[in-house]
Chains A and B, each alone.
Chain A
Amino acid sequence: MTVTLFIPCFVDALFPRAGISMVQILEGLGHKVAFPESISCCGQPPFNSGYWDEARTVAAKVLPQLANSEAIVIGSGSCGAMLKVFYPQLFENTPQATLAKQISDRTWEFSDFLVSKLGVTDLGAKFPHKVTFHDGCHGLRELGLKKSPRALLGKVNGLELVEMGEAETCCGFGGTFATKFPMISTAMGEVKCASATETKAEYIVSNDSSCLMHIQGLLSRQANPLKTIHLAEVLNLK
């Protein structure tokens, strides 16, 4: 099939390896990957701040570029939730309501796409390290993701997964929240880092780079040797 890859703005600019890994994995499975180059952002920043008109302005340009996609795959729980859960709300009672619903129905988060849609869990990956998984909140609670990332990690050669006590606790990023309420955001991140450190894992893995960006920022500042890595990157290593 032709899989349309939606690359979040922060993945494009800051963590391209996560996107590249997804392309290589999907092509490795025999699928064609399409990438609408002129999409910059899903519109979540203005949306989360309550400026829905401005969010709609951005999202309205996204919709037509995904209109003909067979399947839209996003390597981020938060952008995935934006398209899947919030676009239908954003375009309720507008001419694009139907299109938004159609796109929502065809949108998948990356790990969920592999496991639930393609029925694939073993990608022949090798990552001989001890890791712990951070459940990004949008993926966990808006999209219901819990099992798919773990099913995939379970098949990675040499990988040992240790769950942290605060796996499901918000890391504190929350988009603009991180800079509007930095003291709270930092406290929340400290709780996450402490819980991860307790597991004695070498890596924190997640399906959301925005969370990892915040967690890594704290780890580096604390000179904590724990490293962060996106799920797709782990699955693409042999």
Chain B
Amino acid sequence: MSFVSQFKAQARVMAGDLRHRKIIRTALRNYEIVRDVRKASFQDWQGARQLAAETKWQAVNHLDQHLEQFTAKLESRGTKVHWASNAAQAREIVLKIVKDKKAKSVIKSKAMTSEEIHLNDALEHAGLNVVESDLGELIVQLRKEAPYHIVFPSMHLTRDEISELFQRELGSAATNDPEELTMIARRALRKKYLTADIGITGANFAIAETGMISITENEGNARLTAALPKTMISLIGIEKVLPRMEDLALFLPMLATMGTGQQLTCYNTLYSGPRQPGETDGPEEWHVVLLDNHRTELLADAEQRDALHCIRCGACLNVCPIFRNVGGHTYATTYSGPIGSVITPHLRGLQDWKHLSSASSLCGACTETCPVKIDLHHHLLQNRRNAAKQQPSFAEKTSFKLFAFAANRPALWNFGKKMARIFQPLQGLVKGTPVDPAKAWTQTRDLPQLAPESFKDWWRNRK
């Protein structure tokens, strides 16, 4: 089955799953309330968005300079910086470090880039024990499914489902109390933190001026991942740069506001090196892996370059009516929702993934909410245009050519209306059957009737 057929089949199932839609709607309603309180506390939210957009513009449009500065600073303090053009290279780099260290166990904090390059599979194939430390990621890892949402990996699950999972996979006692379930996970992971050979993190931001990465989290699992194991590896998309450390004074509260409706996420931590002389803990070795993986292609598309400004807050997913009705798994790719629909064609291939850009009503709620003002819904339209230009569908191109032909010939257009008026009652006979030409509409909706007197008829008659 093609990606688009799979998408449509899954969308059909999920759109009809009212229980799932209700869970998501409730979760997001709670998020909206706190998000709006946080937005309202800004003195000028729109001003903040504009500054954030301009700061990211500076960062991405001088990306080479910022990456060079970032790397130089990191290397001056003992960090090893690696550059990976694609997913395979990134996996190779990590596997080599793991092999050199003769590592047996890996603990990970949340890193969407590691999902993107399918790192866990590669590590497990190489015989390593890999544990996700973020509670949501741990839950979906145990369920052997992909994260549902880039910020809330397990938002589609109820406490009962999580309880059953923990009983099955962790041997824990039956309880559906969220606090007790969290404590079960905490206890299960404690030993892993203390004994893991390697800690792997992502990063939310890469600060060029001071050579630091910034990691945002609520649980403290990333702080532990960066404190205890002897070797630390951080996987970062090259687009994550910010020019200066103090840019975080704007970005950290905006990320928290739009990501989770918090004023600030619980732990925002800057790392500038492995354990330095005089320091008593922290990794002895720190490897930073910079990942391209088609980001430079997106960079080269000047029209859509601002998609690289994304701070992965998830706000666009939360407001998207498509996401809310079909859910994150339907997209079948690492990044879902509007941002995912915009960038996946660039990251994985336009023709295979253009359907994500088509599965949208272009309502614009995503663009409106994006804290860095990415022109998301217009990029969806541009993807459609680019896809049609690269490989037009014969059926669509022909029908639109006919459409244009008719639209430009009023006599022909009016004739078409007359014919439609004659045939409409016939459609009523086959309504809902496989031969109904309007089946896509009439399966769930009544068809509007053609007016006996069109506006043009009325206008002509009044003269």
Instruction: Verify B388–A51 contact, CB threshold 8 A.
Output: yes
Complex contacts, B385 vs chain A, CB 8 Å: 50, 52
Q: Is A214 among interface residues, defined by CB-CB distance under 8 A?
A: yes
Using CB atoms, name the residue of chain B closest to A35: B459
B383 CB → nearest A CB, Å:
8
Cβ-defined contact, A58 with B445, below 8 A: no
Stretch at the interface among B7-15, B194-202, B286-294: B7-15
Bound complex: CA A187 to CA B18 (Å): 9
B361 and A174 contact, CB distance less than 8 A? yes
A142 to B378, CA, bound (A): 10
Return the contact of A14 from the options B364, B381, B450 (Cβ within 8 A): B450
Given A13-B450, A191-B321, are A184 and B15 neighbors across the interface (CB < 8 Å)?
Answer: yes
- A17, A170, A187: the one within 8 Å of B363 (CB): A170
Interface residues of A in 1-59 (CB under 8 A from B): 7, 9, 11-17, 19-20, 23, 35, 37-38, 40-41, 43, 45-46, 48-52, 54-55, 57-58
Q: Does A182 contact B (CB under 8 A)?
A: yes
Beyond A35-B459, A57-B408, A218-B444, whether A170 also contacts B361 by CB under 8 A is yes
Return chain A residues, CB-CB under 8 Å to B101. none
Q: Chain A residues near B407: list those with CB within 8 A.
A: 9, 40-41, 43, 58, 61
- B445 touching A188, Cβ below 8 Å: no
Interface: B449 (CB within 8 A): yes
Contact B445 A16, beta carbon cutoff 8 Å:
no
Please tell me if the beta carbons of B451 and A137 are within 8 angstroms of each other in the complex.
no
The reply to whether A137 and B386 contact each other, CB–CB distance below 8 Å, is no
Interfacial chain A residues near B441, Cβ < 8 Å: 178-179, 182, 217
Q: Residues of B contacting A7 with CB < 8 Å?
A: 455-456
Question: Is B400 part of the binding interface, using a Cβ–Cβ cutoff of 8 Å?
Answer: yes
Contact (A48, B381) CB under 8 Å given A178-B441, A184-B325, A187-B15? yes
User: Interface residue count for A (Cβ, 8 Å)?
Assistant: 63
A152 to chain B minimum Cβ distance, whole angstroms, is: 21
- Bound together, the chains give a CA A55 to CA B8 distance in angstroms of 27
Give every chain A residue within 8 A of B34 (Cβ-Cβ): none
Chain A residues within an 8 Å CB radius of B21: 187
Q: Does A96 contact B (CB under 8 A)?
A: no
Cβ contact within 8 Å between B417 and A221: no
- Distance of A9 Cα from B420 Cα, bound (Å): 14
Could you tell me if B384 and A177 are in contact, using CB atoms closer than 8 angstroms?
Answer: no
A140–B364 Cα distance when bound, in Å, is 9
Q: Which residues of A contact B77 (CB under 8 A)?
A: none
Q: How far is the CA of A177 from the CA of B367 in the complex (A)?
A: 19
Closest to A176 in B: B358
Which secondary structure dominates chain B's binding surface?
Answer: helix
Q: Is A120 an interface residue (CB 8 A)?
A: no
Query: Given the complex, which residues of A lie within 8 Å of B364, measured CB to CB?
Result: 137-138, 140-142
Contact with A along B385-403 (1 / 0, CB 8 A): 1111100100011001101
B264 within 8 A of A: no
How far, in angstroms, from A138 to B400 measured CA to CA in the complex? Answer: 22
Check if B456 sits within 8 Å of A37, measured CB to CB: yes
Q: Does A19 contact B455, Cβ atoms closer than 8 Å?
A: yes
Give B384's nearest chain A residue, CB to CB: A50
Flag whether B360 is at the interface (Cβ < 8 A). yes
Does the CB pair A37–B403 fall under 8 Å? no
A220 on the B face (CB < 8 A): yes
Say yes or no for A69: interface residue by CB 8 A criterion: no
Complex contact B444–A182 (CB within 8 A) = yes
**B321 to A169, Cβ gap below 8 A?**
yes
Q: Scan residues 391-435 of chain B and give those whose CB is less than 8 A from a CB of chain A.
A: 392, 396-397, 400-401, 403-404, 406-408, 410, 413, 417, 420
**A185 close to chain B: CB less than 8 A:** yes
Q: How far is the CA of A9 from the CA of B368 in the complex (A)?
A: 29
Collect the chain B residues with CB atoms within 8 Å of residue A170's CB. 321, 361, 363, 365
A49:B454 contact, CB within 8 angstroms: no
| Most interface-central of A38, A41, A49, A169 (chain B CB within 10 A) | A49
A188/B321 contact (C-beta < 8 A), A178-B441, A182-B440, A217-B441 known? yes
Evaluate contact between B406 and A221: CB separation under 8 angstroms. Answer: no
**Please, which residues of chain A bring their CB within 8 A of the CB of B445?**
186, 189, 214, 217-218, 220-221
- Closest approach, in angstroms, between the C-beta of B337 and any C-beta of chain A? 13
Residues of A with C-beta under 8 A to B451: 13-17
Bound CA span A218–B407, Å:
29
Given contact pairs A13-B417, A40-B410, A137 touches B363 in the complex (Cβ within 8 A):
yes
A173 close to B (CB within 8 Å): yes
Closest 8 CB pairs of A and B: A174-B361, A217-B445, A50-B384, A170-B363, A50-B388, A141-B364, A16-B455, A137-B363
Provide 10 A-B residue pairs closer than 8 Å at the C-beta atoms, listed in order of the A residue.
A7-B455, A7-B456, A15-B451, A49-B400, A57-B404, A58-B407, A141-B367, A170-B361, A183-B8, A218-B445
Contact surface of A with B, Cβ cutoff 8 Å = 7, 9, 11-17, 19-20, 23, 35, 37-38, 40-41, 43, 45-46, 48-52, 54-55, 57-58, 61, 137-138, 140-142, 168-170, 172-175, 177-189, 191, 213-214, 216-218, 220-221
